[in-house]
């Protein structure tokens, strides 16, 4: 009865089990071994009576390293050098990848020595391990390629890894724990106050579980250079909620901050220039630098003011645009209604245009029915929006001195300053070309200068 239960138990196992005698001859196998043997080309006897050790020796002669390890293990067992051994090996078929774990144990039965060979299919585990390895490799490659610095801390707060970007940012690396964070030199950007060792985002993450995002910090790097970084830290927690590490992320924003400082300087310079322009404008009005009819700048004043704004834009790399516009069919107004109506129309156009401009802009009567507008800190797209606002306001207006039929429309051309060898005169010329393109397109519209026009 006991023998029958033991047989049933062994045959119910998924592992492939064979029993070898002291000469390596297979004397018994379980059902799983027999099935595997048949599925892989074995005969109905399922290798019973076959010398397993001789099969291994043949494979050793063919250079099979796994077979060599198994054969060596068998010899050690039979010489009583050890009582058991185990080895993992691949056993792929044409249709699938497979791995097995072979465990061999020596035992005695009725005074004779036997070897129990147990083959366990570990394919699922190996595939899972391979998936983990691939994921780790992918993560490692991502960390290596990231343009931002990434640092990993373990559960003791010791920095254990820093990717190349992080080491470039800091000019090196120091794999230290929170108690040594004082070696890092940094200052809060908003206050200039030095950062204490326990104030670093990494220290707060590992000691208090705090998450810190994009703290602006000025650092002294290990190579002596200075940078401004965004410093972030996120604690890593285990399923129980305990802190088991942290991730620190650094982003070098030095260049961005320098650009922001330059823009602030540029804006300050523009503001200062505008204040001076206002002072100059007040003085120059005394010298008749305004157009007598419209009250706008005249041509001379336009060039004086615009050249200064043009120079500021070139120096600080800020955008500047010019809008030229004139009144469609203005000659008809003068011919049909008289010059006094034409003058009223010019005044009305000037007034509407002034309502859509800023103090910093330079609006002038360029000549006859033609007007010109300089827009500092303004690209072509935004300048087109200004031109359209003026045009639409004028098109909607029906105000005239005598006859509603004297209402008018305007056409506008827009051009933006180019980087490098551009001049104000060339900019005006491009705006003028865009104006004529608007007229050719049917008038009562605005166009941005385009070479492909």
Query: Residues 411, 416, 422, 424: is their CA dihedral positive or negative?
Result: positive
Q: What does the alpha-carbon distance between residue 434 and residue 372 come to, in Å, rounded to a whole number?
A: 13
In this structure, the number of other CB atoms found within 10 A of the CB of residue 142 comes to 11
Domain assignments of the chain as residue spans, ordered by start: 2-125, 146-252, 259-448
The topology under which CATH files domain 2-125 is Beta-Lactamase (3.30.450)
Confidence of residue 313 (pLDDT cuts 50, 70, 90): very high
pLDDT digits (tens, 9 = 90+) for 357-386: 999 999 999 999 999 999 999 999 999 999
The reported pLDDT for the residue numbered 276 is 85
Indicate if 259-448 has the same CATH topology as 2-125: no
Tell me the H-state helices in 287-379.
299-316, 330-337, 339-355
CATH class of this structure's domain 259-448: alpha beta
Q: What does the alpha-carbon distance between residue 298 and residue 304 come to, in Å, rounded to a whole number?
A: 10
The reported pLDDT for the residue numbered 149 is 87
The reported pLDDT for the residue numbered 97 is 83
- Check whether 3 has a pLDDT greater than 70: no
Three-state DSSP class for residue 141: helix
- Check whether 402 has a pLDDT greater than 60: no
Provide DSSP, 256-300: HHHHHHHHHHHHHHHHHHHHHHHHHHHHHHHTT-B-TTT-SB-HH
Q: What is the mean pLDDT of the chain?
A: 85
Mean of the pLDDT values across residues 386-398? 89
- Check whether 1 has a pLDDT greater than 60: no
Q: What is the dihedral of CA 29, 31, 34, 36, to 10 degrees?
A: -120
* Residues ≥6 apart with Cβ < 8 Å to 132: none
The reported pLDDT for the residue numbered 286 is 55
- Check whether 400 has a pLDDT greater than 50: no
Q: What is the value of pTM for the model shown?
A: 0.43
The reported pLDDT for the residue numbered 327 is 95
The reported pLDDT for the residue numbered 110 is 86
The reported pLDDT for the residue numbered 401 is 43
pLDDT digits (tens, 9 = 90+) for 109-139: 888 888 888 988 888 888 887 877 887 677 6
The reported pLDDT for the residue numbered 323 is 98
pLDDT digits (tens, 9 = 90+) for 163-208: 888 888 888 877 777 777 777 899 999 999 999 988 989 889 988 9
What tokens does 335 get? 């011919």
Q: What does the alpha-carbon distance between residue 254 and residue 228 come to, in Å, rounded to a whole number?
A: 5
Report the percentage of the chain scoring pLDDT > 70: 92
Find where tokens 């343009």 sit: 147
What tokens does 420 get? 């490098």
- Check whether 92 has a pLDDT greater than 50: yes
Confidence of residue 439 (pLDDT cuts 50, 70, 90): very high
Better pLDDT: 2 or 371: 371
Q: Which CATH superfamily is domain 146-252 in?
A: PAS domain (3.30.450.20)
């Amino acid at each position: 009865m006991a023998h029958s239960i033991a047989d049933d138990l062994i045959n119910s196992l998924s592992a492939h089990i064979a029993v070898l005698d002291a000469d390596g001859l297979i004397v018994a196998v379980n059902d799983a071994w027999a099935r595997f043997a048949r599925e892989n080309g074995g005969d109905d006897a399922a290798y019973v009576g076959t010398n397993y050790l001789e099969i291994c020796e043949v494979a050793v002669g063919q250079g099979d390293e796994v077979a060599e390890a198994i054969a060596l293990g068998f010899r050690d067992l039979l010489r009583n050098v050890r009582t058991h051994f185990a080895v993992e090996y691949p056993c792929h078929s044409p249709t699938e990848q497979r791995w097995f774990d072979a465990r061999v144990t020596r035992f005695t039965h009725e005074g004779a020595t036997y070897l129990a060979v147990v083959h366990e299919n570990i394919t699922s585990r190996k595939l899972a391990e391979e998936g983990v390895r691939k994921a780790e490799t992918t993560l490692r490659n991502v960390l290596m390629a990231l343009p931002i610095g990434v640092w990993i801390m373990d559960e003791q707060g010791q920095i254990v890894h820093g990717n190349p970007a992080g080491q470039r940012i800091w000019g090196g690396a120091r794999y230290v724990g929170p108690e040594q964070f004082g070696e890092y030199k940094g200052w809060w950007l908003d206050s200039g106050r030095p950062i204490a060792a326990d104030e670093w985002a990494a220290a707060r993450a590992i000691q208090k579980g705090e998450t810190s995002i994009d703290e602006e910090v000025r650092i002294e790097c290990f190579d002596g250079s200075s940078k401004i970084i965004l410093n972030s830290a996120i604690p890593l927690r285990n399923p129980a909620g305990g802190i088991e590490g942290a991730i620190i992320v650094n982003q070098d924003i030095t260049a961005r901050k320098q650009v922001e400082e330059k823009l602030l300087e540029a804006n300050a310079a523009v503001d200062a220039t505008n204040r001076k322009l206002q002072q100059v404008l007040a003085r120059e009005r005394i010298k008749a630098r305004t157009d007598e009819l419209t009250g706008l700048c005249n041509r001379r004043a336009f060039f004086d003011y615009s050249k200064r704004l043009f120079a500021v834009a070139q120096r600080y790399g800020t955008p500047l645009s010019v809008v030229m516009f004139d009144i469609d069919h203005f000659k008809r107004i003068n011919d049909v209604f008289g010059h006094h109506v034409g003058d009223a129309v010019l005044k009305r156009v000037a007034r509407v245009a002034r309502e859509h401009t800023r103090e910093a802009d330079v609006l002038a009567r360029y000549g006859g029915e033609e007007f010109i507008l300089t827009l500092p800190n303004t690209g072509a797209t935004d300048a087109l929006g200004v031109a359209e606002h003026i045009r639409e306001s004028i098109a909607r207006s029906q105000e005239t001195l005598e006859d509603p039929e004297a209402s008018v429309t305007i056409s506008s051309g827009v051009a933006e300053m180019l980087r490098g060898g551009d001049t104000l005169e060339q900019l005006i010329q491009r705006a003028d070309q865009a104006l004529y393109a608007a007229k050719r397109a049917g008038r009562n519209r605005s166009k941005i200068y385009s070479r492909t026009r």
